[in-house]
Structure formats: C-alpha cells, structure tokens
Chain A
Amino acid sequence: MIIPLDLIALFFLVVIALAAITVRDLLAAIVLLSAYSFIIATVWVEMHAVDVGFTEAAVGAGATTAFLIATLARTRRWEKR
C-alpha cells in the first residue's frame, strides 16, 4: 500500500465525482462514472483487494456503462436546466 498514490487517486475520485454530478451532458456524466469505476478499481487492486477490484472493473466500468448508454439512447442527451 503506497500512501501518496492512494491520496492522488482519491483526490481524482472526488474531482471526477463532482464533475459527474455537475455536468449537463448526460453522456459525459456516464463516461465520467466509468472513469470513476476504473480509478476505484485500480485503488482496490493497489490495496491488495484483487477480487473487489476485478468485480468493480467488470460490473462498474463494463456492464453499468453499457446499461446506462443503452438507457440514454431512449431518452434525451441533455439535462434540462
């Protein structure tokens, strides 16, 4: 476990989470959530929890992104103000 790497990754996590809830483009929000899942998966692996990291990468970055994009295809892309 490397403390500075964790701190950098967690800082990026907070930034990406704030960006995902403030952005108006919903497709961009989905991609940001995918990036969030990917970074937290690397954090899990780096903390020696390979099982959790693998699950996060498969479900969070893979399946959930596909589901959300398929859902977005049925609605409109831009959030109303």
Chain B
Amino acid sequence: MRVRGKGKEHGQEQKHKRDVIVTTIARLMIPFIQMYALYVMVGTEGAGGGFQGGVVFAASFVLFVTAFGITRGRRRLPESWNAALSSLGLYFYAGIGLLCIILSLFSAQYLNYGALPLWEIIGRPETRGLMITFVVEVGIAITVMAVFTSIFFDLAWKGEEDKEDNKEEGGE
C-alpha cells in the first residue's frame, strides 16, 4: 500500500513538466491582469463593471492553474475561501441595500443609494451614491470571481483526480 500523498506528487511530476517560458510569462502577466481587473471594477467613475472585473480576476486564476497546476492553485485559493467569498459579496450587496433603509429611518427604498448620508461627510453633493456603488461593485466582483473560479476548479480538478485514481488502481 502506497502513501497517497507521495504517489500523487510522483504522478504529477511525471505527467507534466512545467515549461520555464510558460511559468515565467504567467508570473509576469498575473499581477497585471489582476491590476486591470481592479481598474475595470472600481477605476472608472459611475456604475458598471463589477461583473467584468470579477470575470477578469477569475481569468487570472485560470492562467495560474494552467501554468502551475491545479494542486498549487487549490493551495493558493482553497475551497473554503471560495465558499466564504461567494457569499461575502452577496452580503455586501444586500447589506448596502438594507443600510439604505435603516439609515434613512424606513423612508427610502431598498438600494436607494442617495439616501445614505455619506455624501454629507465628504462634502460634495455630486458624489452622492458614487462611494456606495464602489462597495456594491466590489461585492459583485467578489461573488463573480469566487463562483467562476469555483466552476473552473471543479471542472479541472475532477479530471486529474480520476486519472490519478485509475493510475493507482493499475499500479497496485
């Protein structure tokens, strides 16, 4: 009977050798992709871009998995983090909506950003709602990033696990 962890590492090393060009390019590209995702999310004024920013952020994890393998990718973003992040973004969104009702003492509607008194603190009336959409978009992007990454990890992980199981059965 072989130790499972040892066999796993051995099988992975045999199957794909990491190419130095691919890993170097991925190392160079991933920070820029994530920076660009942040720019798409919150860099421009006005609403919109949370979904696209989240998808671009998830694409950086897809590139990481393609270059460094699924086990290292899973170690970088564990499954429990995925579950926590995908609900955290939803709580951001729903919490801002509820905050609008609570802070306006039940006179404003759900997600009525203008009712939040944040613009009085900043002092510029034209920015009312802008800071709030900032938070809402970060919430949307976190959820989209977690869900897209989770879908890709599930699709890619099962394939490698099955192959390893078959190999172990054949070896023993």
Contact = CB atoms under 8 A, between A and B. Distances in A.
Interface in B147-161: 148, 151-152, 155-156, 158-159
Interface string A22-33: 000000000000
A51 B58 CA distance: 18
Interface of A is mostly: helix
Contacts of A62: 55-56, 59, 62
Interface of B is mostly: helix
B52 A74 contact: no
B120 to A, nearest CB: 31
A66 B62 contact: yes
A70 B59 contact: no
B90 to A, nearest CB: 20
Contact of A55 (B51, B62, B155): B51
Contacts of A74: 155, 158-159, 162
Contact of B55 (A51, A59, A70): A59
Given A51-B48, A70-B152, A63 B55 contact: yes
Nearest to A56: B52
Nearest to B157: A70
Interface of A: 51, 54-55, 58-59, 62-63, 66-67, 70-71, 73-74
27 contacts: A51-B52, A54-B52, A55-B51, A55-B52, A58-B52, A59-B55, A62-B55, A62-B56, A62-B59, A62-B62, A63-B55, A63-B58, A63-B148, A63-B152, A66-B62, A66-B152, A67-B151, A67-B152, A70-B152, A70-B156, A70-B159, A71-B155, A73-B156, A73-B159, A74-B155, A74-B158, A74-B159
Interface of B: 40, 48, 51-52, 55-56, 58-59, 62, 66, 148, 151-152, 155-156, 158-159, 162
